Amino acid sequence: MRVEVVALNWKWLFVYPDAHIASLDHLVLPQGREVEFHLTSDATMQSFLIPSLGSQIYAMAGMVTHLHLEADRIGRLMGENTQFNGMGFQDQKFPVDIVSADHFAHWLTEATNSTLHLDQTTYRLLRKQENGRRTARALTNDPAASMPVFSSVPEHFFHGIVMRYDATASPGSG
């Protein structure tokens, strides 16, 4: 399974390209399934780390880095950015929910029904330099909003972000 990770100041966007959905500051993974992460940044260099699951790797604008992980236990873990990149980085943490295959399939179905769509207008809001909670409130107009899930993620969305910095990248290379 592939997850495309976009580091933003001061939040993470997780794109599930095969399902055409994305989530902000919340990563959901199926137990016992290898996940291939493709990472980039649409901001400063950042460091992606889920301490209880595996390795740390950098995300840099115009580059795609790769990380393979597999969660063997159901539960909630925490991920974070460990690279200082401004006064908001200390809050750039996100929950990682490891769930059963059935629960993951249900989550994907729910996500495809989201009324929030990841388009260029929405993405401009995501690129604002603010934490994910503030962005979530702005997107949903709800002060108690949980982290949003987006449906209708365009094909090659991640690649478009990489291309903003590296015009030599080819589609599918990320």
The per-residue pLDDT for 87 is: 66
pLDDT over 70 at 85, yes or no: no
Please tell me what DSSP assigns to residue 117.
B
Three-state DSSP at 37 gives strand
Instruction: Say if residue 22 is exposed, middle or buried (CB neighbours under 10 Å; 0-12, 13-18, 19+).
Output: buried
Nearest 10 degrees: Cα torsion 4, 165, 173, 104 = 10
pLDDT digits (tens, 9 = 90+) for 140-166: 877 777 889 999 999 999 999 999 987
The per-residue pLDDT for 81 is: 82
On whether the pTM is more than 0.75, the answer is: yes
Q: Supply the mean pLDDT for the chain.
A: 89
CATH number for region 2-163: 2.60.40.420
- Please identify which residue in the block is written with the tokens 């200390």: 90
Please tell me what DSSP assigns to residue 41.
E
pLDDT over 90 at 86, yes or no: no
Domain boundaries, the chain: 2-163
Partners of 28 in the β-ladder = 97
Spatial contact of 111 and 99, defined as CB atoms under 8 Å apart:
no
d(CA 51, CA 48): 10
